[in-house]
Chain A
Amino acid sequence: MDDTRLPELGPDIWEASLQTFTTVAIALFFGVLLGTFLGLVLYTTRAGGIFANRPVFVVLNFLVNFFRPIPFIIFIGAVQPLARIVVGTGFGIRAATFALALAAGFFISRVVEQNLFSVDPGVIEAARAMGASRIRVVATVLIPEGLGPLILGYTFAFVAIVDASAIAGVVGGGGLGSFALRYGFRQYDPIVTWATVLILIALVQLGQLLGNVLARRIMRR
């Protein structure tokens, strides 16, 4: 225990944690917005969907399949030029957050699409039979009926975002990932490494708990 620098790194670990929290929170927020939109488009435009549109579906399906499997450590570098245009810089926490939000969007689009399959197509048909417009059906039937599973899906995505956020250090994005690498792994200080692990576990557990409680409330069981 004498050879760990953990006690003196207190302020740094706190700062790294804050960076991870903000990066994850912002990426989750924008990822959910983008992913939900893309997921809804995927779900409703596929054959038999209420906005069935083959060209739109095929193009979007290809885009999502193209970007989603790129390992985040490569993705973050690959979208650097785009980050410069959108957030004004290719480095630091802003670029890292941008890349993370974008990757999360593609990831969440699939999660949303798949969770919407749990919505009974019968209720969509019933609403249509009542004379509701298609956009109204999406807003007032599809989303509310699928909300429970969607929240579980977002929670799943949250854990994946926390995981990917550790790579933010690649573009100087800071956070617990680069902290653990710099002060734990490279300094042969496993105590520091494990301290960050504990913080991340706490973060993931907290998020998972929140998601489960919310989903259960909405699904009422």
Chain B
Amino acid sequence: MNINQEQLRKAIVSLAVEKALVTIGRPVYEKTIKQLSKDYNCYLPECYEHPEYLNKVLKKIFGNAHVTIIDAIKKELDEQIKDKPIAVFVTAISE
């Protein structure tokens, strides 16, 4: 049951990241995935456990402006924020 819940959270986080990035442009989403894989050998669902990777990759691509993308991801996760592990992810991605 716990494993399933974790998988569900990973999917929710992945979808939130995808939605936030595709709003900018699909190639932006694709570039982020590529960079995560290149720099950290990490796939998007694994960012749930390593939000710092996603933060660093977005910063590498967009510099100072990466914080607005982080905000957009947080906004996408607003409805799930009551779920503690999601809240932990949201806090960690901002650091």
Task: Say whether A and B bind each other.
Answer: no
Interface residues of B (CB under 8 A from A): none
